[in-house]
């Protein structure tokens, strides 16, 4: 009886054990079914996030070259270093390797990073440093992200032309902005997976060079740019001017060989005032003063209204127009020829010349010379200028505009007008980009229009030559070269009184060399110089220095 009871007890335990095993198996099976069916997608995402990663890498930004092939802007490869705490096997070794390369890790212990697989450690590592780290053993958990750092080898040079890029590697101004798409290239997306040792490997081959930005070449000659920057900076500081501008242009092609705007800014510095990024050579509007007299002179000769030897009575230096008195700084008694009027920059003489033209004719030539129009240069922020329609002109409009008051121009427009005369009357579109790598766009010189006849242009060049040899531009002379040009000293309008200031002026000189067959045209502008403000004292001598050094550099044949 006792034996039967033992057998019965044993069978019960076996049944209970079977039930327990089946129950456990059922629970595990149910859990597996739940995980496989209901949690599959969530788990797959988690696993993929640990094992696979999609990376986006910025391509190398295209270089910018000057006309001689010198590098003005380039991009150097740099690296960001990160660690994956989940893949690190020997944290002390990692800390030691990084410390040996001057890199500190933020946490003393691996567990302090928490549940993360990405911790950024340091930016802007060089290729040499990265190579040293990669050469070490047992660096599981260290990764690198490639980026490019924009560099300007010439420093504070051509800042307003080149522009700069922002933190997102996109252009903020200048060439960097206008040609951002061409220079940027295409971002590269590629997948990576982690192998058993924790290394990240690409799962596809990508030709990254095919995605890089395209190189760009400017018409700027860095040697001429250096000459201009050196001479302008010295004069800018000496005259304590508010701003200064210089443009050097090849009149036959419209190519800009140099463009300087002062004060400059460092391309490597953070910009707190974005106004400093503005290129005043194309965006600032100013009254040109007597340099604008070239327009009335050329128009009157071209229309047959005057000849160089025609004489005008100059009213002994005072001419009443409506309720206003127009006066001359250099008073010429009695009569003077057109040549003499230009040489001595007589405002009264030009009022009388412009009156022979008439309002509509004068307005037509102002527009033909390119004023109150966009030039089409490949730089952002260009201004159109200011010019009222003749319907809004009053009794003072034509007289004032004849000698450069009552009209707003840009420096680029002004040099364009002189270049048109230098180029036998043909206005060319200013160009600053010579070519873009693998680009079909045509950057060849483009004729805008014939402004005046060849004969008119030659006569105006001869008269401008006299203005330098015998007139207000005498300090612009260059040894062994003939020079033609015109000074301009313009009063600025006081923004508070809306009247012309007795203290603030714009001094300018625009000239061409050689005078009768010009190879270069140079414009100098000083805004609010202190002390002597006349252009003949300030702007013309700087032209002489820049023109001499530039002519020597370009080997322009001497003609004097």
Q: Is the pLDDT of residue 349 over 60?
A: yes
Question: Locate tokens 């509509």: which residue?
Answer: 360
Band (pLDDT 50/70/90 cuts) for residue 188 is low
Q: What is the pLDDT of residue 176?
A: 92
What confidence tens digit (pLDDT) does each residue in 463-477 have?
999 999 999 999 999
Average pLDDT, the chain: 87
Q: Is the pLDDT of residue 334 over 60?
A: yes
For residues 190-218, give the mean pLDDT: 62
Q: Which CATH architecture has domain 54-217?
A: Alpha-Beta Complex (3.90)
Band (pLDDT 50/70/90 cuts) for residue 500 is confident
Check the CA dihedral 393-398-400-406 and report its sign. positive
Checking DSSP bridges between strand 216-218 and strand 64-65, what pairing results, if any? parallel
For residues 321-339, give the mean pLDDT: 91
How far is C-alpha 405 from the chain's CA centre? 30
Q: When comparing pLDDT for 442 and 407, which is higher? A: 407
Q: Is the pLDDT of residue 205 over 50?
A: no
Q: What is the pLDDT of residue 192?
A: 53
Closest to 407 measured CA to CA, from 386, 389, 392: 386
Band (pLDDT 50/70/90 cuts) for residue 138 is confident
Band (pLDDT 50/70/90 cuts) for residue 267 is low
What confidence tens digit (pLDDT) does each residue in 404-424 have?
999 999 999 999 999 999 999
pTM exceeding 0.85: no
Indicate the burial class of 45 (C-beta count within 10 angstroms; 0-12, 13-18, 19 or more).
exposed
How far is C-alpha 268 from the chain's CA centre? 14
**Pick from 131-145, 146-160, 196-210, 394-408: least confident:** 196-210
- List Cβ<8 Å contacts ≥24 apart for 121-129: 121/81, 121/82, 121/83, 122/80, 122/81, 123/78, 123/80, 123/81, 123/147, 124/78, 124/79, 124/80, 124/149, 125/78, 125/79, 125/80, 125/81, 126/78, 126/79, 127/77, 127/79, 129/79, 129/101
What confidence tens digit (pLDDT) does each residue in 526-548 have?
999 998 889 999 999 999 999 99
Band (pLDDT 50/70/90 cuts) for residue 45 is low
Q: Is the pLDDT of residue 52 over 60?
A: no
Rounded (10°) angle between helices 535-554 and 222-239: 160
Q: When comparing pLDDT for 137 and 7, which is higher? A: 137
Q: Is the pLDDT of residue 400 over 70?
A: yes
Tokens of 412: 């680029």
Q: What is the pLDDT of residue 57?
A: 65
Q: For the chain, first and last CA: distance in Å? A: 144
Q: What stretch of H or E contains 542?
A: helix 535-554
CB 307 within 8 A of CB 301: yes
Q: Is the peptide bond before 426 cis (omega within 30 degrees of 0)?
A: no
Tokens of 278: 């503005």
Q: Is the pLDDT of residue 190 over 80?
A: no
Q: What is the pLDDT of residue 56?
A: 59
Q: When comparing pLDDT for 3 and 372, which is higher? A: 372
Q: Is the pLDDT of residue 383 over 80?
A: yes
Query: Hey, is 525 helix, strand or coil?
Result: strand
For residues 25-40, give the mean pLDDT: 69
User: Which range is most confident: 85-94, 442-451, 547-556?
Assistant: 547-556
CB 245 within 8 A of CB 506: no
Residues 6 or more apart whose Cβ sits within 8 Å of residue 338 = 297, 306, 307, 308, 309, 310, 312, 349, 353, 463
Q: Is the pLDDT of residue 130 over 70?
A: yes
**Pick from 407-416, 448-457, 502-511: least confident:** 502-511
What confidence tens digit (pLDDT) does each residue in 57-69 have?
678 899 999 999 9
Residues 6 or more apart whose Cβ sits within 8 Å of residue 271 = 164, 172, 265, 277
Annotate 77-111 with DSSP letters as a single string: EEEEEEE-TTT-S-HHHHHHHHHHTT---S-SSGG
CB 373 within 8 A of CB 367: yes
Q: What is the pLDDT of residue 4?
A: 58
Check the CA dihedral 368-403-314-456 and report its sign. negative
Query: What are the CA-CA distances from residue 305 to residues 30, 343, 353, 504 (Å)?
Result: 106, 19, 8, 35
CATH number of 222-264+280-554: 3.40.710.10
- The runs of H, that is alpha helices, within 344-432 are 347-357, 359-368, 397-402, 411-422
Q: What is the pLDDT of residue 89?
A: 83
Q: When comparing pLDDT for 48 and 29, which is higher? A: 29
**Pick from 183-192, 356-365, 526-535: least confident:** 183-192
Check the CA dihedral 410-395-488-357 and report its sign. positive
Residues pairing with 60 in the sheet: none
Return d(Cα 393, Cα 371) in angstroms, integer: 17
For residues 148-177, give the mean pLDDT: 86
**In the chain, where are the structural domains located?**
54-217, 222-264+280-554
CB 345 within 8 A of CB 329: yes
CB 365 within 8 A of CB 427: no
**Pick from 10-24, 88-102, 129-143, 187-201: least confident:** 187-201
């Amino acid at each position: 009886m006792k034996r039967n009871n033992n057998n019965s007890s044993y069978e019960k335990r076996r049944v209970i054990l079977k039930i327990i095993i089946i129950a456990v198996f059922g629970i595990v099976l149910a859990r597996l079914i739940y995980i496989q069916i209901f949690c599959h997608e969530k788990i797959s995402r988690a696993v993929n996030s640990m094992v696979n990663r999609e990376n986006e890498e910025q391509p190398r930004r295209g270089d910018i070259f000057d006309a001689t092939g010198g590098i003005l802007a380039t991009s150097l490869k740099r690296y960001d270093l990160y660690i994956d705490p989940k893949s690190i096997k020997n944290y002390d070794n990692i800390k030691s390797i990084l410390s040996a390369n001057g890199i500190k890790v933020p946490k003393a212990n691996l567990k302090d990073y928490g549940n993360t697989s990405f911790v950024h450690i340091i930016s802007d590592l060089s290729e040499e440093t990265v190579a040293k780290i990669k050469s070490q053993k047992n660096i599981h958990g260290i990764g690198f992200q490639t980026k490019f750092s924009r560099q300007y080898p010439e420093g504070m040079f051509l800042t307003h032309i080149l522009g700069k890029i922002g933190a997102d590697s996109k252009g903020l101004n200048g060439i960097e902005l206008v040609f951002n798409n061409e220079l940027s290239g295409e971002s590269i997306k590629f997948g990576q997976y982690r192998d058993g040792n924790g290394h990240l490997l690409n799962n596809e081959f990508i030709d990254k060079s095919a995605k890089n930005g395209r190189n760009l070449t400017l018409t700027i000659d860095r040697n001429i740019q250096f000459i201009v920057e050196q001479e302008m900076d010295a004069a800018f500081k000496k005259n304590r001017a508010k701003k200064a501008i210089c443009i050097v242009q090849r009149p036959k092609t419209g190519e800009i060989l140099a463009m300087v705007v002062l004060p400059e800014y460092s391309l490597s510095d953070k910009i707190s005032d974005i106004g400093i990024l503005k290129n005043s050579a194309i965006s600032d509007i100013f009254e040109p003063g007597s340099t604008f007299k070239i327009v009335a002179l050329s128009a009157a000769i071209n229309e047959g209204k005057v000849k160089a030897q025609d004489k005008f009575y100059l009213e002994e230096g005072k001419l009443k127009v409506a309720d206003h008195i127009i006066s001359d700084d250099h008073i010429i008694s009695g009569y003077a020829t057109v040549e003499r009027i230009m040489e001595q920059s007589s405002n009264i003489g030009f009022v009388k010349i412009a009156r022979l033209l008439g309002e509509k004719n004068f307005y037509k030539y102002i527009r033909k010379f390119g004023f109150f129009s966009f030039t089409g240069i490949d730089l952002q922020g260009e201004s159109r200028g200011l010019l009222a329609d003749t319907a809004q002109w009053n009794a003072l409009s034509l007289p004032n505009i004849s000698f450069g008051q009552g009209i707003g121009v840009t420096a680029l427009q002004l040099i364009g007008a002189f270049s048109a005369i230098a180029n036998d009357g043909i206005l060319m579109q200013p160009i600053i980009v010579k070519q873009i790598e693998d680009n079909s766009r045509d950057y060849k010189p483009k004729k805008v229009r014939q402004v005046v006849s060849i004969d008119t242009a030659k006569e105006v060049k001869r008269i401008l030559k006299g203005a330098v040899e015998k007139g207000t531009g005498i300090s612009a002379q260059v040894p062994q070269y003939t020079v033609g040009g015109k000074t301009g000293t313009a009063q600025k309008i006081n923004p508070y009184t809306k009247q012309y200031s007795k203290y603030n002026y714009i001094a300018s000189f625009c000239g061409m060399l050689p005078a009768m067959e010009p190879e270069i045209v140079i414009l100098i502008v000083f805004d609010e110089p202190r002390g002597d403000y006349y252009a003949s004292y300030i702007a013309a001598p700087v032209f002489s220095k820049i023109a001499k050094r530039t002519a020597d550099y370009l080997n322009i044949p001497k003609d004097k």
